Amino acid sequence: MNILTGKHLSRRAMLRGAGAAIALPFLDAMKPALAAPAKSVGNARRIAVVYVPNGIVIKDWKPAGTELEFTRILKPLEPFKSDITLLQQLANHAAQNAKGGGHARATGSFLSGVSPKYTAGADVQSGVTFDQIAAKRWANETRVASLQLGCEDSRMVGNCDTGSSCAYTNSLSWKDEHTPLPVEVNPRSVFERLFGTVDPSLPADVRARRAMYRRSILDATKENAQKMVSELGAADRRKMDEYLTGVREVEKRIELAEKEEIVPPIEKPSGIPFSYRDYVKLMFDLQVIAFQSDLTRVSTMMLGREGSVRTYPEIGVPDPHHPLTHHRGHPDFIEKVTKINCFHVELFAYFLEKLRNTSDGDGSLLDHSSILYGSALSDGNQHSNYDLPLVMAGHAGGLKGGRIFAAAEKTPVSNLFVDMLQRSGLEVEKFADSTGRLSL
């Protein structure tokens, strides 16, 4: 019991209502009375991967020297200098040694360190990804083992890259060597998975009808919330108000997206904002809420599928992304790809800001997270798998930030995954083709 409020809550406490169950953020009332501050129950570690497709323009990404300087592409991350570490010389040997399309080989092996089988059929094969190692370890402690999110069509069958299955280009996470995990692209579906109790196996029209009857999740839990908040201390009341306001704001944005009228032939699933910027921010906000309430501790998010042909008219790039990356040195094409790269980093900075501003135990979510940003390709024009453009953010396991970490040339990227798992408190000495732990 908390000695200030007299109220002791379980970390697994929830607000419940008709068709809804809202997990709570970490509150002072969840701390045992007179507990030592070290290893607070509010300091769970989180792991996230934010993936960008088609490589990055390295000349506008990589600083010239050994000090962390903010190049044109990295500029949006300057306010987070002390929170990030720029990684250099990491390589994905599994992609380099595989057969098939350059994009499929890259994503199909990126987080697993295992060369994907060259096939466009149902007999896909790669390896369990490092995020799923963590998800399995924490599965009994969270409501959702892991989130796999995306911002682009996620079909898993067919030929998507020179005879390679779409499962390789359209997903990052693999539960085991034969099971790629499809990304969820609809914010409403993610929201319902996190907070709703409607059976996801029901037909879509039934789920929609039940969701309409249920109205807002917050409406459904209002009475329970008011009673609980009235029994909390002042600091916890503020935390609950901020958290519930955030949940309702996300729900409102999803509802607004569902009401948007899009003129044919443009089509989008219900719940997806028309603006890509709004779409990505909404998906990031869902991850923040899921981490804040400890509904999950693991997430991967693809800002676009590998080989993406998304256009970006909002930043003056109406051309499809993937063909631009095969620029063959054409300066106009390179400039457009650089603009896309800058835009993606700007959106990632939004995610970091939200994590840094969200309290969690004795720090923030960013303090207790290992966040990896980057691509499985460096030079998209060459489909290169060496010196991958990667940034680590967060301070889980005491990572300091504010520097460049240059590994030995062609160090397996799996060494980084061993480090991320160990920083999250998991005793993993080797993963896939790793040769040790990256000494960050």
* Range in 73-87, 101-115, 248-262, 301-315 with the lowest mean pLDDT: 248-262
Over residues 201-230, mean pLDDT: 66
Structural contact between residues 278 and 228, judged by C-beta atoms closer than 8 angstroms = no
Contacts of 226 (CB under 8 A, 6+ apart): none
Give the per-residue pLDDT at 211: 56
Give the per-residue pLDDT at 37: 43
Over residues 126-147, mean pLDDT: 96
Structural contact between residues 173 and 129, judged by C-beta atoms closer than 8 angstroms = yes
pTM: 0.88
Query: 111 pLDDT exceeds 80?
Result: yes
Q: What is the pLDDT of residues 154-180, one digit of tens each?
A: 789 999 999 999 999 999 999 999 999
**Where do the domains of the chain lie, and which CATH numbers do they carry?**
42-185+272-423 (3.40.720.10)
Reading the block at residue 62, the tokens are 């990589």
Alpha-carbon gap, residue 418 to 395, rounded angstroms: 16
Alpha-carbon gap, residue 371 to 346, rounded angstroms: 15
Residue with more model confidence, 229 or 72:
72
Query: 228 pLDDT exceeds 90?
Result: no
User: Residue 38 to residues 3, 31, 43, 119, 363: CA-CA distances in angstroms?
Assistant: 18, 12, 9, 50, 12
pLDDT band at 8 (very low <50, low <70, confident <90, very high): low
Q: What is the pLDDT of residues 296-325, one digit of tens each?
A: 999 999 999 999 999 999 999 999 999 999
Contacts of 355 (CB under 8 A, 6+ apart): 288, 291, 364, 365, 366, 369, 371, 394
Give percent of the chain with pLDDT exceeding 70: 85
Q: What is the pLDDT of residues 29-57, one digit of tens each?
A: 877 543 444 444 457 899 999 999 999 99
Alpha carbons within 13 angstroms on the beta-carbon side of residue 145 total 12
Reading the block at residue 13, the tokens are 């406490």
